[in-house]
Amino acid sequence: MSRVFITGSADGLGQMAARLLVGAGHQVVLHARNAARAEEALKAVPKAETALAGDLSSIAEAVALAEQVNTLGRFDAVIHNAAVGYQEPRRIATVDGLPHVFAVNTLAPYILTALIRKPQRLVYLSSGLHRSGDASLDDLAWDRRPWQGTAAYSDSKLHDALLAFAMARRWPAVLSNALEPGWVATKMGGAGAPDDLQAAPKTQVWLAVSDEPSATVSGGYFYHKKPRETHPAVRDVAVQERLIAACEGFSGIRLPD
């Protein structure tokens, strides 16, 4: 059995994945943005080991969350599930002055990847919208561009796929993959989303714990447990490295070798 940490698991796909993992006998540590939400998460998944709190829009809180995770010991897998959507009508600045979408969806996974003790597997949730992302990586902080919520979200999901592929290349002993769960009727996806909600959490669970040969790979991108093509830039080492350098610059945290 595996021990898995899931960010953003107070509700939505993160909570659904946690329930599947716990139901299969795995140990799961949940995460929510604050203590009250963490308590709610534990009530929703009572067989989870514990729930940690940390607001991923804050660099300091993301760092503190990584420290909490490391205090609990080593994990077999980390699922980077936490995200905010594309409904933000304006550039919402975090405590660090960064766009909320970028801070939560891009920078927080980078920080946690850099600071949490290396697991055996890393799983990053992307989106089909990543194919519309801006691979130039210009103006990641949206200081000069007119704000567009959908574009900011698409960019961030491209970043998640880039990070997954970068880690697969940089850390060959770690299985690192990305996936798109589909457009499903979660709080983020909306009630009218057309894809299969019950299938949506299964690929991240499969990548985190399955011993099937098709799951024990690295540098893959999946949809419903099947490989799927990505934005061409995802496999571009130069673009991967530009993103890592940018995240290091924003956070002040260096990715270990």
DSSP bridge pairs for 123: 79, 177
Edge-to-edge strands, sheet with 220-223: 50-53, 27-32, 3-6, 77-80, 121-125, 175-179, 220-223, 226-227
Does the annotation mark 110 as catalytic?
A: no
Catalytic residue among 110, 153, 202, 221: 153
Catalytic residue among 110, 124, 157, 221: 157
Question: Contact at 8 Å (CB) between 21 and 208?
Answer: yes
* Rounded distance between C-alpha atoms, residue 79 and residue 125, angstroms: 8
Burial class (CB in 10 A: 0-12, 13-18, 19+), 40: middle
* Rounded distance between C-alpha atoms, residue 140 and residue 155, angstroms: 9
DSSP bridge pairs for 99: 93
Does the annotation mark 187 as catalytic?
A: no
**β-pairing verdict for 50-53 and 77-80:** unpaired
Q: Which residues are catalytic?
A: 153, 157
